[in-house]
Amino acid sequence: MLSLANVDSFYGRSQALHAMTISAPRGAVLGILGRNGVGKTTLLRTILGLTDRSEGVIALGGTPIEAFPTHERARAGIAYVPQGRMIIPDFTIRENILMGGFAATGARRIPDIVPELFPYLMDNLDRPGGVLSGGQQQQLAIARALACKPKVLLMDEPTEGIQPNIVAQIEDIIIRLNTELGLTILLVEQNVAFVRRAAKAFAMIEHGTAVESGPIDTLTDAMVHKHMAI
């Protein structure tokens, strides 16, 4: 469904991805693992065309998209839930959500799934995004991504910095997005236990390349220790 073949990616002259080759099957969660600074965020940004330059093939449903500008990649069905959530604090919850759809498709409607998944957001549409807790802002970032009507969600550390008692709710929503809405999800996560629960496949990243990958049941503790221990 979404695949990268031999993708190099650059910030200026600095190369951050080296021959990155990964594949997320349609309707599956692909867990992206690795230490800080190995290129996981850069991988997601490269899929969206947000680094300075990339080479290699990026394909969505068999169609090469690497020549598309970012807004066309969004229109083709790729949405982003960035690290740190990037909510606009002075915009209302409604405006933050609609911004996602407007950017991708011009839609000015809150998607039907949002009230079901995020009743709190629907009850507080006119409040500013900035008053929300970390967990609620993560919900808002997901709702904003859903407004793009995506086929694929790129999620960068969605449980990072969220109160431990709320993490399970966010995890549950991510699993529902996959199992109930059938979304393909690239999930960058440090929480290996959650990745084991949610993902069908994994890719372990070191130095901007995938050094291990396969079905999730082939992810061993030894791999986790080797590539993720500090």
Which one of the spans 10-18, 23-31, 114-122, 193-201 is the region binding ligand ATP (CB under 6 A)? Answer: 10-18
* Length of the chain, in residues: 230
Which one of the spans 29-37, 53-61, 93-101, 214-222 is the region binding ligand ATP (CB under 6 A)? Answer: 29-37
Closest contact distance (angstroms) between CB of 14 and ligand ATP is 5
Residues of span 56-115 touching ligand ATP by CB under 6 A? 83
CA distance 100 to 184: 18
Of 20 and 24, which has the nearer Cβ to ligand ATP? 20
State the residue for tokens 């986790």: 224
**Sequence-separated (6 or more) residues with CB below 8 Å from residue 150:** 77, 78, 79, 104, 183
Closest contact distance (angstroms) between CB of 34 and ligand ATP is 6
User: Is residue 121 within the footprint of ligand ATP (CB under 6 A)?
Assistant: no
# residues contacting ligand ATP (CB under 6 A)? 12
User: Is residue 158 within the footprint of ligand ATP (CB under 6 A)?
Assistant: no
Which one of the spans 9-17, 56-64, 65-73, 86-94 is the region binding ligand ATP (CB under 6 A)? Answer: 9-17
Closest contact distance (angstroms) between CB of 81 and ligand ATP is 14
CA torsion, ordered 162, 168, 174, 180, to nearest 10 deg: -150
Amino acid at 148: C
The neighbouring-strand residues paired with 210 are 205
67, with CB counted inside 10 A (0-12, 13-18, 19+), is exposed
> Site residues (CB under 6 A) for ligand ATP?
11, 14, 16, 34, 36-42, 83
